[in-house]
C-alpha cells in the first residue's frame, strides 16, 4: 500500500519540494493532507493536482475562496489553527511532514505523535522549544522522528548501522551564509535584500535570515541534542562554504563518517519519506572534479553572536531555548520589516534571555506561556 503523507506547510520551500518528490514516486506515496497559512492560490493548485483527502487553510478569511475552488472535487476543506492541529490525527495518515515555519509547528507535531503518526521533521523549532516533551512522547507512542534538515539527515545517515557504537561528537557544517568573513562594522548597515541572498541554498525568508545571522545553525545545535541524545560538548559547528559535506559523526575510536552531496533539499526529504529504503532518483550527482577544494573554518562567534547564544541556551536548558526561539522569531520579523538593524537581532535575543522568567523543568503550559511572554517582551524592546 502507498504511504499516505500529510504535508503541513505545503506551499513553502520544503513543502513544494516534497510534492516534487511525491510526484516522482507516485507508486509509493500518496498525498492525504495539504495545509497552508495564507497562500491560497498555490494551495488550490496543489490540491487540484494531487487531490488530497483534506485541505486546511490557516487564514480563516480565505476559507470561502479555497472551498469554492475545490467544490467540484471530493476534497474536505477546513480552516484555522485548530483544524491544522487536529487534521494530523486522521487515521489514514502514515507520515506527517512538518514543514511549518517556527513555533507554529509545535502543537500539530505533538498531536501527530500522540496519534501515532511518524514524523518527517523539517520544523527544527519544535525540538528547540520543547525537545524533552516531544522526544518522550515519540518514545511513548513508538513514533519515528526522521530529520529533514540536510545537516541532521546527514548525521542520521551516518548513524545507520552504528547504533551499538557510541558517538564521541557530531560536527554540523554551516555555509557561513552571505556575510561569511564580514565584520560588525559591515553588518551594521546591511539590508534585508543582502541577507536574503544565500550563496548555496534556496529557502524561505525566515530561515535565510537565520542562516545569515548563524541562528539557523544555533537552532540546529539544539535540535541535534534531542534527535541524537547528545550533550552540548558533543556538538561542534564548522563553517564549510561549499555546502557539500552536510555533516559528520566522530566515533569513540576517532573514525569520522560524513555524508556528502550537492546542496539539494529533495534528497533529505526523499530519504525521510522513504526510510529505510533509499529510493532511486534523477537528482543531479556530485562530481569531485567540479569541487577540487573543500574548505573548512571555525565560526566567528564574536561577530555572529546568535550561535553563541544558542549554545548558552542549550547549556542552561529548561525553557531557555524556548526564550531564544521566540525572541529570534520576533527579531527576524522586525528585521524583514525594516524596523531594526541586522545586529540588533542579537541584542533583542540576549535581552530576552536575561529578563524572561527561567523555568528549570517546564511543562507544555510553561512553554506556551514562555513563548507568549517572550514575544511581548521582544516587541516592547523593539518599540
Mean pLDDT for the stretch of residues 68-87:
94
Per-residue burial over 4-41, b = 16 or more CB atoms within 10 Å of its CB, e = otherwise: bbbbbbbbbbbbebbbebbebbeebbbbbbbbbbebbe
CATH of domain 3-147: 3.40.50.720
User: Would you say 180 and 238 are in contact if contact means Cβ atoms under 8 Å apart?
Assistant: no
Q: Is the model's pLDDT at 271 over the cut of 90?
A: yes
Structure confidence at residue 71 (pLDDT): 93
- Give the per-residue pLDDT at 205: 86
Pairing of strands 256-260, 3-8: unpaired
pTM: 0.92
Distance, C-alpha 324 to centroid of its chain: 15
pLDDT of residue 263: 92
- The three-state (H, E, C) secondary structure of 57-99, written as one string: ECCHHHHHHHHHHCCCCCCEEEECHHHHHHHCCCCCCCEEEEC
Q: What is the mean pLDDT of residues 292-302?
A: 95
The rounded distance, in Å, linking the Cα atoms of 65 and 44 is: 9
User: What pLDDT is attached to residue 367?
Assistant: 96
> Which pLDDT belongs to residue 1?
86
Tell me the average pLDDT across 306-329: 97
**203 has a pLDDT exceeding 90:** no
Q: Which CATH architecture has domain 317-383?
A: Orthogonal Bundle (1.10)
Which of the four pLDDT bands, split at 50, 70 and 90, describes residue 232? very high
| Residue 348 scores a pLDDT above 90 | yes
pLDDT at 200: 72
pLDDT in tens, 60-71: 999 999 999 999
CA distance 200 to 167: 29
pLDDT at 204: 78
Instruction: Please state, rounded to an integer, the average pLDDT across all residues of the chain.
Output: 95
> Span 188-210, mean pLDDT?
85
Domain assignments of the chain as residue spans, ordered by start: 3-147, 152-263+287-311, 317-383
3-state secondary structure of 190: coil
Amino acid at each position: 500500500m502507498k504511504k499516505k503523507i500529510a504535508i503541513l506547510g505545503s506551499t513553502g520551500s520544503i513543502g513544494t519540494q516534497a510534492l516534487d518528490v511525491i510526484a516522482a514516486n507516485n507508486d509509493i506515496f500518496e498525498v492525504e493532507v495539504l495545509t497552508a497559512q495564507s497562500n491560497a492560490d498555490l494551495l488550490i493548485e496543489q490540491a487540484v493536482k494531487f487531490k488530497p483527502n483534506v485541505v486546511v487553510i490557516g487564514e480563516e478569511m480565505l476559507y470561502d475562496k479555497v472551498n469554492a475552488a475545490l467544490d467540484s472535487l471530493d476534497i474536505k476543506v477546513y480552516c484555522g489553527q485548530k483544524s491544522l492541529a487536529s487534521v494530523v490525527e486522521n487515521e489514514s495518515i502514515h507520515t506527517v511532514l512538518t514543514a511549518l515555519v517556527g513555533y507554529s509547528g509545535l502543537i500539530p507535531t505533538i498531536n501527530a505523535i500522540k496519534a501515532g503518526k511518524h514524523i518527517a521533521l523539517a520544523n527544527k523549532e519544535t525540538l528547540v522549544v520543547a525537545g524533552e516533551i516531544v522526544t518522550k512522547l515519540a518514545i511513548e507512542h513508538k513514533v519515528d522522528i526522521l530529520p529533514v534538515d540536510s545537516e541532521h539527515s546527514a548525521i542520521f545517515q551516518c548513524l545507520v548501522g552504528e547504533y551499538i557504537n557510541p558517538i564521541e561528537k557530531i560536527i554540523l557544517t554551516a555555509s557561513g551564509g552571505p556575510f561569511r568573513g564580514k565584520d560588525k562594522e559591515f553588518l551594521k548597515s546591511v539590508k534585508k535584500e543582502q541577507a536574503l541572498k544565500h550563496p548555496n541554498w534556496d529557502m524561505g525568508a525566515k530561515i535565510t535570515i537565520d542562516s545569515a545571522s548563524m541562528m539557523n545553525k544555533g537552532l540546529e545545535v539544539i535540535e541535534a541534542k534531542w534527535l541524537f541524545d547528545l550533550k552540548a560538548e558533543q556538538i561542534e559547528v564548522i563553517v564549510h562554504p561549499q555546502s557539500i559535506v552536510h555533516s559528520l559523526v566522530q566515533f569513540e575510536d576517532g573514525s569520522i563518517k560524513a555524508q556528502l552531496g550537492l546542496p539539494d533539499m529533495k534528497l533529505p526529504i526523499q530519504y525521510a519519506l522513504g526510510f529505510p529504503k533509499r529510493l532511486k532518483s534523477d537528482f543531479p550527482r556530485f562530481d569531485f572534479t567540479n569541487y577540487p577544494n573543500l574548505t573548512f573554518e571555525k565560526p566567528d562567534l564574536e561577530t555572529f553572536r546568535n550561535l553563541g547564544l544558542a549554545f548558552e541556551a542549550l547549556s542552561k536548558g529548561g525553557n531557555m531555548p524556548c526564550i531564544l526561539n521566540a525572541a529570534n522569531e520576533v527579531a527576524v520579523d522586525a528585521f524583514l520589516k525594516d524596523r531594526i538593524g541586522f545586529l540588533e537581532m542579537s541584542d533583542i535575543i540576549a535581552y530576552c534571555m536575561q529578563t524572561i522568567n527561567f523555568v528549570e523543568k517546564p511543562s507544555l503550559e510553561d512553554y506556551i506561556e514562555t513563548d507568549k511572554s517572550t514575544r511581548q517582551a521582544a516587541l516592547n524592546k523593539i518599540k
